[in-house]
Chains A and B, each alone.
Chain A
């Protein structure tokens, strides 16, 4: 008979296979990082530019410059671009963070050579046509107005503003009228300044064809390299807003909660320990917050905490949507968990569980070329050595002590230092 009460023996995860990219440069010095692996004939190309929202003078410029790349170029209309990409079964996704802008293409290898010239047009010769800009901003504005009725969206938009303050580029708050103010000219200027060869990195992943580099060089290696990198602007000091904020939304049946503060980013020596402690507090399904607020009290469908790392700063944020009637109780319990974290070192068994869970997460996060590329890209903007970072990560997971974490808690999770926002009903 098997003993069903006893968990099968577990093996400790001591090493992590971290594939290193093959590095090359195009003729114009654009760096290319290649992760060649996998058994499905698909290639993914990621173009990363230093063109995030922190570089814009007015709201939405960075995101619309990125979004409008596919909405008309020197040779093709928006429709022609869409038709070509769809015809070859290619998928393009575009995204903008506070620091970077990305354009990612996924395509079957057999179609890559037909799609690359279109991609060249999109990246190097976008025209940002007035009428397309108008259509896009007007429909997106309606989506934005819908979002303003959602407690969770309202809380997210406003909390960064509260933490970083109105003068800091990380604290920008978008308003509905900003969609009407965008101009064609602003986008083409932003594109000229920031979507340059000197500002670009290319990451290639998948089961790569032999001539991938020469194909890339043919399409993207000719763009002049003389354009200088726009120096990163020194951001103004962070001047946080009011410590407690309540945004009333009278028809809400749930309230969205945010509790958090400015923290440290991936370049800081405390970051990995902070990340581990955050996991224990609210970073996974077995976390203290989830166990208490959801699994014990039933106040919410979910509660999470996270450390959001940006190039020049970071934010620690606890987020949840809770029943409007139990909002006060939920807030009280969240602060209680922060207090407990600050009054006694974590239990060794609990720490052991978090160690094993995180080690497993690392293994799962390096499964296949696209996942590996994602890990690599997530560190690009910090200039950190990727292999060293993840090796340190696993080491820290396996060696961090309860005492280390107690110090981190005192430094970053002091309940009295937290900012708070509630959107909904209190």
Chain B
């Protein structure tokens, strides 16, 4: 049970406090309600580049990192398609530095031209390191536009193309900041040995003076229902073939979301899962195979992906995955197997609550989703899922018409054996 209190400042900043008396450290998390889905199709990768610029100095403080390090703190951030998240941990005795730093960069940025110039280069290197210089690294860059035709999930957070990042101008940066980086668009959560009263006091001092911003209304195009199976075949200089089947599913608050999560675990969580045992161990068709959900706030994807063993054909691989899909549609999961999956989820939730940073993140994201109580009720929601529910869901979404298939073929000389 995570006990928390929640209050809202006059400028719209939502604040959540969870006291944990056992830790000498405080975790602070700030979610800004902006992600890659809010980008213009011609200026993709921007939300993520902007996250880098948030470390380039704020209106009163020339550098974000050094003062935090001086306080014994550590920080980082990430951007996904839905939101941008900043987090830090700091020894309790120096907590006020965190309020000082985070409130200043919510108040205003330095907008240093040097920072923009350098971070453009850094992000371009990140693009190369993670997406271009790895075998299979461009997989998501191709799968997204294959599966999404209208919705902005069709591009990755890094962006569609390096040129989008290279072309960013300072005016873009300022406009984006003014639109999205204000108290009404943010959620602050604080976890540590600290009371609500103490946090209120620090918030009144540091965050309350920040002016109120203009409310944003999202107008994101909906992804139309897919009517026909899509096939994309690419060749790349990689050692082995890879296959992917992606099915559209509901969003994070959809009633079927938890069913989909449980179904993906039944298929591929742990060494006793169906795909691992039958396709990797028994049939030896894949060196690795996975079924997972993307977990996006808007309607997302239920994905099967696998790397083929040398000598296995795409047809064999696809057939094997389809047989497993056929099975979950045709037959209800046995009670014992089903219980196993739920047990594992229950313990995964318990383990994920160990870290104070994780708890701070969960509180922030649950609030963003509009139901902060999820931090305490998720386990119970999973317990309500039934084998019948899984079978129904499988029948509803795992259909050919709803599927985007990708064949990622090894182009180079295949036989690398000796």
Task: Check A10–B134 contact: CB distance below 8 A.
Answer: no
Contact A82 B97 (CB under 8 A): no
The verdict on A42 contacting chain B, using a C-beta distance below 8 Å, is: yes
Contact A106 B287 (CB under 8 A): no
Note all chain A residues with C-beta closer than 8 A to B129.
254, 300-301, 321
Q: How far is the CB of B62 from chain A (nearest CB, A)?
A: 10
The answer to whether A2 and B206 touch across the interface, beta carbons within 8 angstroms, is: yes
Provide the residues of chain A in CB contact with B343, threshold 8 Å. Answer: 86-89
Cβ of A284 < 8 Å from any Cβ of B?
yes
Given A177-B418, A254-B128, A360-B91, the answer on whether A367 and B339 have CB atoms closer than 8 Å is no
What are the residues of chain B within 8 A of A78 when measuring CB–CB?
271, 281
A69 to B121, CA, bound (A): 46
* B25 and A363 within 8 A (CB): yes
Q: Is the CB of B65 within 8 A of A285?
A: yes
The answer to whether A87 touches B339, judged by C-beta atoms less than 8 angstroms apart, is yes
Option from B23, B94, B99, B277 in Cβ contact (under 8 Å) with A368: B23
Which residues, 54 to 79 on B, are CB-close (under 8 Å) to A? 59-61, 65-67, 69-74
Stretch from A57-65, A141-149, A268-276, A375-383 contacting the other chain: A141-149
Q: B117–A357 contact, CB under 8 A?
A: no
Given contacts A88-B343, A356-B71, whether A300 and B125 have CB atoms under 8 Å apart is: yes
B248 CB, min distance to chain A CBs, angstroms: 29
Known: A8-B96, A89-B347, A286-B66. A370 touches B71 (CB 8 A): no
Residues of B within 8 A of A42 (CB): 350-351, 354
Residues of chain A in range 36-73 having any CB-CB distance to chain B below 8 Å: 37-42, 70
Taking a contact as CB atoms closer than 8 A, the residue among B103, B121, B128, B309 that contacts A298 in the complex is B121
B125 touches A301 (CB 8 A): yes
Asked if residues B25 and A364 are in contact (CB atoms below 8 Å), the reply is yes
Residues of B within 8 A of A39 (CB): 20, 22
Kindly identify, within residues 2 to 19 of chain A, every residue whose CB is under 8 Å from any CB belonging to chain B.
Answer: 2, 4-5, 7-11, 13, 17
Q: Which of A89, A361, A368 contacts B74 (CB 8 A)?
A: A361
Known A13-B91, A298-B120, A298-B121; judge A139-B309 contact (CB<8 A).
yes
Is A90 positioned at the interface, with any CB of B under 8 Å from its CB? yes
B240 touches A146 (CB 8 A): yes
Question: Per-position contact with A for B192-233: 1 when CB-CB < 8 Å, else 0?
Answer: 000000000000011001000000000000000000000000
> In the complex, how many angstroms separate the beta carbon of B52 from the nearest chain A beta carbon?
10
Residues on B with C-beta less than 8 A from A252 are 133
Given contacts A78-B271, A357-B69, contact A142 B74 (CB under 8 A): no
Find B239's partner among A138, A142, A177, A357 (CB 8 Å cutoff): A142
Residues from chain B with Cβ under 8 Å of A300 in the complex: 122, 125, 129
State A253–B20 Cα separation when bound (angstroms).
Answer: 47
B25 to chain A, nearest CB (A): 5
Check B416–A353 contact: CB distance below 8 A: no
Complex contact B74–A360 (CB within 8 A) = yes
Question: B369 in the interface, Cβ–Cβ < 8 Å?
Answer: no
Chain A residues within an 8 Å CB radius of B128: 253-254, 323
Q: Are B347 and A108 interface neighbours, CB within 8 A?
A: yes
Contact with B122, one of A41, A142, A294 (Cβ below 8 angstroms) = A294
Is A232 part of the binding interface, using a Cβ–Cβ cutoff of 8 Å? no
Instruction: Encode contact with A along B276-320: 1 for CB under 8 Å, 0 otherwise.
Output: 010011001011100000000000000000010110000000000
Q: Which of B129, B130, B270, B351 has the most CB of A within 10 A?
A: B129
Check B122–A298 contact: CB distance below 8 A: yes
On chain B, the residues within 8 Å of A17 by CB distance are 24
Residues of chain B contacted by A5 (CB below 8 angstroms): 60-61
CB distance from B95 to the nearest CB of A (A): 9
Distance of A92 Cα from B106 Cα, bound (Å): 42
* CB-CB contacts below 8 Å: B131-153 with A: 132-136
Q: Which of B61, B339, B351 has the most CB of A within 10 A?
A: B351
- Are A4 and B66 interface neighbours, CB within 8 A? no
In-complex Cβ contact of A4 among B61, B134, B270 (8 A): B61
21 residue pairs of the A-B complex, CB under 8 angstroms, read A7-B71, A38-B22, A41-B350, A78-B281, A79-B272, A79-B281, A81-B271, A82-B270, A86-B271, A87-B339, A108-B350, A135-B281, A142-B309, A151-B133, A251-B237, A253-B133, A298-B120, A298-B125, A301-B126, A363-B25, A367-B25
Besides A177-B418, A296-B118, A370-B354, 6 other A-B contacts (C-beta < 8 A): A38-B354, A82-B271, A86-B271, A89-B343, A176-B418, A363-B72
